[in-house]
Structure 1
Amino acid sequence: MRNYLLPALLAVTIPVCAQHQESDSLALRQLATEVLTHSKAYSNLRDLTQQVGGRLAGSPQMVKAEKWGEKVLKEAGADTVYMQACQVPHWVRGAKEEVRIISRRRDFIPPLNVLALGNSVGSGPAGITAPVLEVSSFDDLEAKKDQVKGKIVFYNYAFKPEFIRTFESYGDAVRYRGQGASRAAKYGALAVVVRSMTHGANNLPHTGAMHYNDSFPKIPAVAIGLEDAELLSNRLKGESDMKLYLKTNCKMLPDTTGHNVIGEIRGSEFPDQIITVGGHLDSWDVNQGAHDDGTGCVQSVELLRAFKALGIKPKRTIRIVLFANEENGTRGGQKYAAEAKAKGEHHIFALESDAGGFTPRGFSFTMPAEKQAKIISWAPLFRPYDVYDFTSAGGGVDVGELYEALGTPMGELMPDSQRYFDLHHAANDTFEAVNKRELELGAFSMAGLIYLIDKYGL
């Protein structure tokens, strides 16, 4: 969620007492030393990724991950740890997908490297054999709509390389993953193949959630690796009658029960004022879910551990939430926000880490200008740690539910984004892809921001 904020924000300043700046600088230095010296984030991430692994909503690994979350929050020293139940979707990938080129040429082509998109229906046991129609965009699909019926539509829409912040490339391209199947089914397509949401220099396909429009037939959808996307496109240029054989084995089972795993430090002065910090515990099934979003979970837990280790007694209640089912339903974030609203809770801020465990650059925010101006006044305290951007607009998906329900000011840790979409939703999102130092700097940055918000309010 990356939206609004006023350009005039940069002109707004709030003076900060020099004495306060000095004491706060010392407090942040203590937090940094504690995290960079004694952090448990990296070892916790190792346990989550290698003992639990991929933890798709509804899977047995989801249950193991929830037990892991309960354990690490207790070990970090949370005053209270509890589970918040919610119904989550139960999508199953099934046996490995198969997509093959059927050609009049006699050259051998290995099966294409694909992954079914999350929530997709399967092809049926016989698979689908059909001609292929390549389209470059939804506009191109509309222009070719009379050619779609009975074909497999291939969306070959590339990440735009000119965007420096790669989340902009993702935001531009992800509509083809999310909407592509239904928009092609409207004109009679039998299945879709979608160019993966990445600019990675490899052939790994990237899965991710797609959504059906119930007005049209539900057809299978797969993502294809970039090298094979280029191969398919090039073959189509010289062989217009080429076909694909596509077989997927996924299915959607009835909803099951998952949990947000929650740990709290009770506020010493204003316990009814709540600051939420979290990441999502679920991941896709094809990887270890390290950067997405194991790093966000362990950074959030590390914040709590560091506060406890330093004897910091926050004024307000700090609530660590390991959200359920962000990837293919956002049911955990919805449940958390709905219950907060039903209970009339007072949430003053919500922070999420769900953009990878890379070097932190700053935070994005969605909140009134005067509140963000207060945060910007603290920016000099973070510059010694090379954390400098406090002006970008945005906030995480799960805390976005709290923003929508209660208007809670929200933010998201903003790491360097250049490598994130090399591995987002792909098989290479593993523990080995995470740098310990970068992970810990992100955890400290979150802890420092929450320390200041708790101390001064918003």
Structure 2
Amino acid sequence: MKLKYIALVLLCCLTIDNITAQKAKTDDQDVEMIRKIYDEALGKGESYQMLEFLTKQIGARLAGSPGAAAAVDWSKETMEGFEFDNVFLQEVMVPHWVRGQKEIGKIVNSKMGSVEVNVVALGNSVGSGPNGVAGKIVEVQNFDELAALGETGIKGKIVFFNRRMDPTLIETFEAYGGAGNQRGAGPSEAAKYGAIGVVVRSLTNALDDHPHTGSTNYTPNLYKLPAVAISTNDADKLSRMLKDDSELEFYFETHSQMLPDKLSHNVVGELKGSSKADEYIVVGGHLDSWDLSQGAHDDGTGCVQSIEVLRILKAIGYKPKRTLRAVMFMNEENGLRGGRKYAELAAENKEKHIAAMESDRGGFKPLGFTFTAEDKQVERIKGWAPLFVPYQIYKFDTGGGGADISPLATQGVPMIGFYPDPQRYFDYHHTAIDTFDKVSRRELELGAATMAALTYLIDKYGL
């Protein structure tokens, strides 16, 4: 009996030793593979060259525009050039909004006469036409103040929403969200009280002369007011002048209009899985950009990083178990039609997505990831965090994803948001200065490698 007990103890010890040795071997394999991923991205990376062509040769890519169509062709040709296993298009009808000729904005008062200011039409907004919009202006911080003034204080006037992004919030996307409803819903809220136009403070903490566009969304059955964003410097100027002269007037002229929907496409590249090809891991960014600039950080960087994830894994000889997809989504900026179409087709084709990752926070220094997933899935991802420490990647937090992948959430797909340093993103977001020269090659390549490393781990171990 005693001998049997000793034998059992020895067997257990050997089993534990074997498990420990296997785990160490697996961890060593992961360390080696992730090192290869970073070496490829930093030594032989293609993301910066891709971004240069996309931004400087194609440029602005608003949905429905010739630039967007050129970007679709470029994406398909680029992924075919990297010899991905499959590259295809998904048809999607997109809104076709055009800005028209350059906007005009002026403050008019008795002391200084006419003072020109920097304004741009909000995306999807109706135009004023050649006669413009002119009238007294009333400043509010939020919808409660608007309601308190009511029709008596608002009717026949231009409403000036001047709420700042909260500068005390370290998470700049939280600050953006806290100020965003004045742009998204402000024109319709002002229309309820008889306003004739809307001016919105640009959504940024930077103090400069560059107005930030972005979508507004009209409430059905309400009058559509012309609406513009004003630069932060000019917003402060307008606010100061209003305090000195309550009879101040404002004039703006825009020529934007919404045309009939146009046919466009998502672009999808694949590396086919070896043993679980019917399971999909998606990495993506949105191919469209606003019309004011090259759309470098928003979201050219996310697109090229997503393509680079597949290119890196193919280049180092990795054979994925599952099918990996790089998706260039169309129309995130003013409709989200591409993301919705992708999810619709995924459901229709009964595709099993085990994870979706999006890069849409710029190409800055990578800090980590955010997740919206089941607790056990989040814990698994957090368990890989030590593998990223050598690359100064430390953020593994819940609460994240991306706009384009969000329609997949109803299918139970774990959402992952690539998280770069957020402090400078809103300096450029939706402006004319979101250009190629604002992107660091080193930071862009580090981001692509970080995304590729997590994609590798999800593919190897699943969630």
TM-score by length of 2: 0.94
CA deviation vs aligned residue, 1:355-401 (integer Å, no higher than 9, x gap): 00000101011100001100100000001001111123110001111
* 2:280 aligned with 1:246: no
CA deviation vs aligned residue, 1:86-139 (integer Å, no higher than 9, x gap): 000000000011111121124552x21011000000012211111001111111
**Distance apart, 1:215 and its partner CA:** 3.0
Residues 335-350 of structure 1: matches in 2 within 5 Å? 335-350=341-356
Question: What is the one-letter code of the residue matched to 1:53?
Answer: G
Question: What is the one-letter code of the residue matched to 1:210?
Answer: T
- Which of 392, 400, 403 does residue 406 from structure 2 map onto? 400
Alpha-carbon separation, structure 2, partners of 1:447 and 1:403: 22
* 2:97 aligned with 1:78: no
* 2:298 aligned with 1:318: no
* Counterpart in the other structure of 2:282: 276
Alpha-carbon separation, structure 1, partners of 2:271 and 2:133: 54
* Counterpart in the other structure of 1:139: 144
Alpha-carbon separation, structure 1, partners of 2:147 and 2:384: 50
Contact 1:277 1:300 in 2 (8 A): yes
* 2:110 aligned with 1:96: no
Question: What is the one-letter code of the residue matched to 1:194?
Answer: V
Residues 6-85 of structure 1: matches in 2 within 5 Å? 17-85=23-91
* 2:134 aligned with 1:113: no
Alpha-carbon separation, structure 2, partners of 1:388 and 1:371: 18
Contact 1:77 1:308 in 2 (8 A): no
Alpha-carbon separation, structure 2, partners of 1:333 and 1:108: 45
* Counterpart in the other structure of 1:7: none
CA deviation vs aligned residue, 1:237-290 (integer Å, no higher than 9, x gap): 111111111111000000000100010001000000001110000000001000
Contact 2:135 2:156 in 1 (8 A): yes
- Which of 359, 363, 383 does residue 389 from structure 2 map onto? 383
SS at match of 1:263: strand
Contact 1:77 1:304 in 2 (8 A): no
Alpha-carbon separation, structure 1, partners of 2:114 and 2:226: 25
* 2:463 aligned with 1:449: no
Contact 1:271 1:316 in 2 (8 A): yes
Contact 1:76 1:302 in 2 (8 A): no
* 2:234 aligned with 1:231: no
- Which of 430, 436, 441 does residue 431 from structure 1 map onto? 436
Alpha-carbon separation, structure 2, partners of 1:391 and 1:32: 22
* Structure 1 unaligned residues grouped into runs of 5+: 1-14
* Counterpart in the other structure of 2:195: 189
* 2:452 aligned with 1:419: no
* Counterpart in the other structure of 1:285: 291
CA deviation vs aligned residue, 1:43-97 (integer Å, no higher than 9, x gap): 0000000000010000010110001101111122211111100000000000011
SS at match of 1:154: strand
* Counterpart in the other structure of 1:160: 166
Question: What is the one-letter code of the residue matched to 1:380?
Answer: P
Alpha-carbon separation, structure 2, partners of 1:357 and 1:392: 21
Alpha-carbon separation, structure 1, partners of 2:63 and 2:129: 23
**Distance apart, 1:407 and its partner CA:** 1.5
* RMSD between aligned residues: 1.1
* Structure 2 unaligned residues grouped into runs of 5+: 1-19
Contact 2:186 2:198 in 1 (8 A): yes
CA deviation vs aligned residue, 1:327-356 (integer Å, no higher than 9, x gap): 000000000000100111111000000000
* Counterpart in the other structure of 2:10: none
* Counterpart in the other structure of 1:87: 93
CA deviation vs aligned residue, 1:206-237 (integer Å, no higher than 9, x gap): 00011000131000111000000000001111
Identity of aligned residues (%): 52
Alpha-carbon separation, structure 2, partners of 1:152 and 1:168: 28
| Bigger shift: residues 44-53 or 385-394 | 385-394
Alpha-carbon separation, structure 2, partners of 1:70 and 1:451: 23
| Bigger shift: residues 238-247 or 184-193 | 238-247
Question: What is the one-letter code of the residue matched to 2:76?
Answer: E
Contact 1:121 1:251 in 2 (8 A): yes
Which structure has the greater CA radius of gyration? 2
Alpha-carbon separation, structure 1, partners of 2:43 and 2:329: 28
TM-score by length of 1: 0.95
Alignment coverage as a number of residue pairs: 442
CA deviation vs aligned residue, 1:304-331 (integer Å, no higher than 9, x gap): 1111111111000001100000000000
Question: What is the one-letter code of the residue matched to 1:334?
Answer: R
Alpha-carbon separation, structure 1, partners of 2:398 and 2:92: 32
* Counterpart in the other structure of 2:16: none
